[in-house]
Structure 1
Amino acid sequence: MGAGAAAAAGRARSGAPRPGAQAARPAAGRRAWRAAAEGVEQLFSGLEIVGLEKVVDCVKQHPVVLVPCHRSHFDYLILSYIFHTNYLSPPHIAAGINLSFWPMGPLFRGAGAFFIRRTFEDNELYKMVFRKYLTFLIREGYTQEFFIEGGRARTGKILTPKLGLLSAIVNAFLQGVRRDLYFVPISIHYGRVPEEEAYKSEITGADKEKESLVSLLRARGVLKRRYGTAYVSFADPISLEAELGSLRDRFRAGFGQAEIEDEKRRFVRRLGFRLLRDVNAAAVAGATAVSASALLGGPQAACRLGDFLTAAHALVALLRAQGVRLTSSLERNEASNYRESLGWLEMGGLAERLPDSDGIVIHVPAEKRVNLDFYKNNTIHFFILPSLFTRALLAEVPLAAVAPYVAWWLDFYRWEFPLPERGALRAQLERWLDYYRDSGVLEGDAAVVEHPVILATAGLLENFREAYLVAVRTVAAQKEWPISQAALLQRMRRQFATSLLLGEVQKPEGNSTAIFANALSRLAELGHVAVVRRGRGGREWSLEPGAAFERLPDLIHRLGT
């Protein structure tokens, strides 16, 4: 085997990107496009696209990096399908090496995917090759695509940004190969996702199934169903040149200097959260998301149809007040008392209608609340501030103290939701105060507790509060240290199940390994626990009591009130 062939074989084994992969495999590319088109058209009854013209204008002059949210494996198929059918060069997609399995790997590669390892911090050669490849893509003006959340969001909401690839793109751009580069945040919204049951299984403690031909064949039943309309919203492109401003010359001149590299990391972090906020802002609100929010946000496991409709209409009014784009399905359901949406949920086994002497009762079976929570989380970011504002009012927090009260909760939930820009919170709360006054939610400075807005928003974040409360209690009660993260997460799940039986918590969907893992990350930041990394590459986490461990009772008290 010659040196060139050996190098190519090494790249194939390692999953390293191959420059020009699309051009090198035209036959595979054609098969990939046919498969993508057939899959999208077979699975989804429609595709609604907003804002694509902004991307068209950008790609004519600059390299573009697409930054979509990641809710499904069909995200990249849909985006490639959109580009292909609109006569745009499909993007080069940064994909995890776990997707390189036969027979899909060659098709994905032919369609523009390049496979990379999840982590390669300890491999200098791999890092160098990867940097060179990114520089090549930017210099040649290729459109790229990567998922800043790292993996698919099993919970249905935006994850905290993984900044490695974003940092690599910024560093490649700083080489000066192009005058500008544009990031395009993209929101993708589904009526239902094909991976719904798999996500539920993982969130409730099962191991993630490795992608393979066997798992693909097992999913054939999924591929025979229809999943409604997919909505793709392109946000305004973000100029990297404009974001950098004078920092561009500073970063280039001080490359490698510790102080400059720290400043660059802070810039990349700010940019990462800016991208996520723009993805959220571009999101649409659909009928399934609103129905899920109205059903799961209530105080009981079931609600009367009239109460559901009152909550749903109040939530839509909150969305309209923010200028959120409503899907055509949501508009139809608003006008028809959600007959279509409730029928859709009932047909899919996510809700059931129960007869009652006083009319219809809508019930979400306990085992389906996690499924429905995925759709509630699709739009939860639009309701965070109203929900926390409502919580403050119900806790009788003086209006002058509402801003710091809400800021505390937002900071505590920083692993759950992208925070508002610094300095913007107070102005946003002032706008919500005006809305509450104008809508009759307030009498003087007190909440009208039976007002639809109060009833619709009071419980929307309860599953997060209950999960964090159980997480903190479990950590505080732990006697044997150190303990692996996996073992501690399982103890949290068992404790939550016990607390449900005791009536100490009310939301079964809060029993989520994803939320518990985020809670542990926040407790580590606050010093309540200390993380010890073991194993290859530090991938195994063990936890020990942190410097602030003794202050956990104070946190328990705050979360419990």
Structure 2
Amino acid sequence: MRRTRDVVAKAVERVRPGNSLPREAVELLDDAAFERELAEVARAQGTDADSARAEARAYLHEMAAHHGDRMTEQWAKVGSWFMRAYDIVVDEEQIQRLRRLDSQHSLGIAFSHRSYLDGMAIPNVLGARRFSPTFTFGGANLNLPVLGAVVSRTGIIFIRRATTDLPVYRLTLRCYIRQLVRNRRNLAWSIEGGRTRTGKLRPPVHGILKYLVDAVEGPGSPDTQVVPISIVYDQLHEVSGMTAEARGARKRPEDLRFVVRFARLQRTRMGRAYLTVGEPFSLRERLDELHGDGLTSHQAIERIALDISHRLNRATPVTVTAIVSLALLGADRALTLDEVLDTVEPLARYIGEREWPVAGGANLQDRATVRRALQELSSSGVLSQYEGGTEPVWSILEDQHLVAAFYRNTVIHMLVDRAIGELALLTMAELRPDATLPAGGAAEVGWDEAKRIRDLLKFEFFFPGRVRFEEDLRTELRILAGEDLLDPTPEQAGELLRQARPHLAHLVLRPFLDAYLVVAHRLAEQGDAEVDEEALLADALAVGRQWQLQHKVASAESVSLELFRTALALARHRGLLEAGPELATRREAFLVEIQDSLRRLDVIASLATGTRTDVPVTGVLGALR
């Protein structure tokens, strides 16, 4: 504890906060265009220009940052000390390609956000390789007394989240970012706006991106190369706190005591952190392309945000921790090393066929590698290891399912297409011989089912446009069939599904659909009545815990406020929260849809285990089984 305080204190002592503003802030206050925009805002607010200017100057003192050479060097050492729980693994070839871009362009670095450490790791990695200084955006909640003044001298820009009623603040931030781009500074921000609570990417936040687009579209402004950077960890100290919040615990405020506690946690080694660079793109060229397609500026920003998210997912490597967590969550019982390897082996083959990156180039089928991951998860308290029998077995500890799910979810995006493809095949295989088929035959039925599942999960995962989505599903079908099979019959669909290895739909989708089931059930119980969303979430959490004990949901990981909120977002999108025509009927239909989707997952699970279920299976698949 004393050493932690000393390290932080020494960093603070190296700076004496002053009243001078950094270069870009001074240039902005002298900018005639900014003066005119301030005057317009002042008139709209019924105040005078001098008051607006004074307000803008105060905001610039709050947000503006710069890179003091000595302070940046010292803070990099503090950052390395905070990162001492990890070895950072970087693809140096990716970094060298990025350096060539850095020499010619301003970089807009959009990173995934799983830890408070991200904001230290990325600038440290780039700074150690002699990149241009990076200005990183952080939440104003981290602008702690004195310490905030220190880190603002290392390029950290603290910004507020709630600015709806602060038009001068929004204008000042937008113009400050524009000035940074004019000066060809590198900017870094979390496209998610905050740390993920589930392990997978959160929906993108458009604020910084919107201002960056505004800067690039301005006359005479230089282009910016958008660079997605993914950072993923073998394990994280923070996950237990985040999963507690998902069960209803209150979030602790960030203060100096929090910083000390967080620093102390990093004394325990947690493996590796993997920093990978996604495919960069020119922001101006992408904007021109989208505007050429007839999209408005708002629509273009939404599309670019999704582009970034897709590229981040594509760059995120598979960790051994994630695959081991997937195997144990799917089994939901103790497994031997051989049983874990039996589950991982077809997954590893599939990952190789899809050419997904593997963290550190690890061999996912190597016994020693998988055993080490199991032991490390046991050491950190996620798994229990029992050695009293004939051979060791590992299982997820009772209150650690959400933690294991966090690690599993770092790779879940790469398995979703396969899971949806399995459900599409099942729908085709279940067609009765005397069924009346549409013009496109059984294949059209399968595509319609895939699109339905895509729509059901669109608030959970980032799906490409419909054309690309169908292309991806055809790729999955080609991997399953070993050839192009664009129009399978029900018989062929059933045979493909029966022979498929691995079966993933139940492993990937059940946790989410079980959570949706809880929310859909509580909504249906409300009949035609309007609902209070917070009360509904609290009710879902209580009922979810009951269903977990009764095994009405497959795993404790489905009892999560994060998943319930996503289900609520879907219900809101479908108009199921407010009074309307036939509301009770539509809520009941929503529940039935979720129940039927879960029934199909049960069928996939029975194929995976070679067992029968008590769910009736019709059509050709029943004969095959």
- TM-score, length-normalised on structure 2? 0.78
Please state how far the C-alpha of 1:319 moved relative to its aligned partner.
1.1
Please state how far the C-alpha of 1:198 moved relative to its aligned partner.
1.0
Please state how far the C-alpha of 1:327 moved relative to its aligned partner.
2.1
> For 1:424 and 1:247, how far apart are their aligned partners in 2?
17
1:73 to 102, 113, 116: 116
1:47 to 72, 89, 93: 89
Structure 1 residue 199 and structure 2 residue 234: aligned?
A: no
Residues 1:429 and 1:10: Cα distance change in structure 2 (over 3 Å): same
8 Å Cα contact 1:310-1:452 kept in structure 2: no
Partner residue in 2 for 1:494: 542
8 Å Cα contact 1:157-1:379 kept in structure 2: yes
Residues 1:437 and 1:243: Cα distance change in structure 2 (over 3 Å): same
Report which stretch shifted further, 102-111 or 178-187: 102-111
Aligned with 2:136: secondary structure? Answer: strand
Amino acid at match of 1:276: S
8 Å Cα contact 1:390-1:454 kept in structure 2: no
> For 1:559 and 1:67, how far apart are their aligned partners in 2?
35
Partner residue in 1 for 2:472: 428
8 Å Cα contact 2:56-2:169 kept in structure 1: no
8 Å Cα contact 1:191-1:229 kept in structure 2: yes
Please state how far the C-alpha of 1:391 moved relative to its aligned partner.
3.2
1:154 to 197, 200, 215: 197
Aligned with 1:417: secondary structure? Answer: coil
> For 1:190 and 1:4, how far apart are their aligned partners in 2?
39
Please state how far the C-alpha of 1:136 moved relative to its aligned partner.
0.3
> For 1:483 and 1:457, how far apart are their aligned partners in 2?
32
Residues 1:334 and 1:195: Cα distance change in structure 2 (over 3 Å): same
Superposed, which structure 2 residues align to 1:437-448 within 5 Å?
A: 437-438=481-482, 444-447=492-495
8 Å Cα contact 1:16-1:126 kept in structure 2: no
Partner residue in 2 for 1:367: 399
Alignment deviations for residues 299-326 of structure 1 (CA, whole Å, 9 cap, x no partner): x333454332121111111211111111
1:344 to 376, 380, 387: 376
Residues 1:548 and 1:482: Cα distance change in structure 2 (over 3 Å): closer
Aligned with 2:181: secondary structure? Answer: helix
Alignment deviations for residues 495-535 of structure 1 (CA, whole Å, 9 cap, x no partner): 111112222211110111111111111111111114xxxxx
Report which stretch shifted further, 353-362 or 216-225: 353-362
Alignment deviations for residues 188-224 of structure 1 (CA, whole Å, 9 cap, x no partner): 1101112111111111111221111122223344121
8 Å Cα contact 1:185-1:235 kept in structure 2: yes
> For 2:130 and 2:410, how far apart are their aligned partners in 1?
30
Structure 1 residue 237 and structure 2 residue 307: aligned?
A: no
1:272 to 295, 305, 309: 305
Residues 1:161 and 1:470: Cα distance change in structure 2 (over 3 Å): same
Please state how far the C-alpha of 1:242 moved relative to its aligned partner.
1.3
Amino acid at match of 1:313: E
Aligned with 1:152: secondary structure? Answer: coil
Report which stretch shifted further, 208-217 or 272-281: 208-217
8 Å Cα contact 1:120-1:126 kept in structure 2: yes
8 Å Cα contact 1:493-1:511 kept in structure 2: yes
8 Å Cα contact 1:403-1:425 kept in structure 2: no
1:526 to 546, 570, 574: 574
8 Å Cα contact 2:537-2:565 kept in structure 1: yes
Amino acid at match of 1:232: L
Partner residue in 1 for 2:127: 84
8 Å Cα contact 1:305-1:360 kept in structure 2: yes
8 Å Cα contact 1:66-1:143 kept in structure 2: yes
> For 1:416 and 1:546, how far apart are their aligned partners in 2?
27
Superposed, which structure 2 residues align to 1:277-296 within 5 Å?
A: 277-296=310-329
Structure 1 residue 413 and structure 2 residue 457: aligned?
A: yes
Partner residue in 2 for 1:331: 363
Alignment deviations for residues 372-421 of structure 1 (CA, whole Å, 9 cap, x no partner): 11110000001001122223444545661222212211221111111123
Please state how far the C-alpha of 1:449 moved relative to its aligned partner.
6.9
> For 2:217 and 2:338, how far apart are their aligned partners in 1?
58
Structure 1 residue 403 and structure 2 residue 420: aligned?
A: no
Residues 1:278 and 1:326: Cα distance change in structure 2 (over 3 Å): same
Partner residue in 1 for 2:37: none
Partner residue in 1 for 2:408: 376
8 Å Cα contact 2:527-2:583 kept in structure 1: no
> For 2:115 and 2:340, how far apart are their aligned partners in 1?
29
Unpaired runs of 5+ residues, structure 1, are 252-259, 531-543
Amino acid at match of 2:592: H
Amino acid at match of 2:72: G
Alignment deviations for residues 104-143 of structure 1 (CA, whole Å, 9 cap, x no partner): 3223212211111102122211111112101101100000
8 Å Cα contact 1:528-1:546 kept in structure 2: no
Partner residue in 1 for 2:510: 462
Partner residue in 2 for 1:533: none
> For 1:365 and 1:197, how far apart are their aligned partners in 2?
13
1:312 to 344, 365, 383: 344
Structure 1 residue 297 and structure 2 residue 330: aligned?
A: yes
Structure 1 residue 554 and structure 2 residue 589: aligned?
A: yes
Q: C-alpha root-mean-square deviation of aligned residues, in Å?
A: 3.0
Please state how far the C-alpha of 1:160 moved relative to its aligned partner.
0.8
Residues 1:227 and 1:102: Cα distance change in structure 2 (over 3 Å): farther
> For 1:46 and 1:132, how far apart are their aligned partners in 2?
35
Residues 1:349 and 1:286: Cα distance change in structure 2 (over 3 Å): same
8 Å Cα contact 2:56-2:172 kept in structure 1: no
Residues 1:549 and 1:302: Cα distance change in structure 2 (over 3 Å): farther
Amino acid at match of 1:49: D
Partner residue in 2 for 1:118: 161
Unpaired runs of 5+ residues, structure 2, are 1-18, 22-50, 432-441, 597-625
> For 2:285 and 2:584, how far apart are their aligned partners in 1?
44
Structure 1 residue 57 and structure 2 residue 100: aligned?
A: yes
8 Å Cα contact 2:200-2:411 kept in structure 1: yes
8 Å Cα contact 1:527-1:547 kept in structure 2: no
Structure 1 residue 106 and structure 2 residue 149: aligned?
A: yes
8 Å Cα contact 2:107-2:227 kept in structure 1: yes
8 Å Cα contact 2:514-2:553 kept in structure 1: yes
8 Å Cα contact 1:303-1:361 kept in structure 2: yes
Residues 1:343 and 1:101: Cα distance change in structure 2 (over 3 Å): same
8 Å Cα contact 1:182-1:238 kept in structure 2: yes
Please state how far the C-alpha of 1:264 moved relative to its aligned partner.
1.0
Please state how far the C-alpha of 1:487 moved relative to its aligned partner.
2.3
> For 1:452 and 1:368, how far apart are their aligned partners in 2?
30
Structure 1 residue 32 and structure 2 residue 67: aligned?
A: no
Aligned with 1:45: secondary structure? Answer: strand
Q: How many correspondences in the alignment?
A: 531
> For 1:465 and 1:54, how far apart are their aligned partners in 2?
41
Superposed, which structure 2 residues align to 1:132-211 within 5 Å?
A: 132-211=175-254
> For 2:461 and 2:185, how far apart are their aligned partners in 1?
32
Query: Which structure has the greater CA radius of gyration?
Result: 2
Amino acid at match of 1:159: R
Partner residue in 2 for 1:540: none
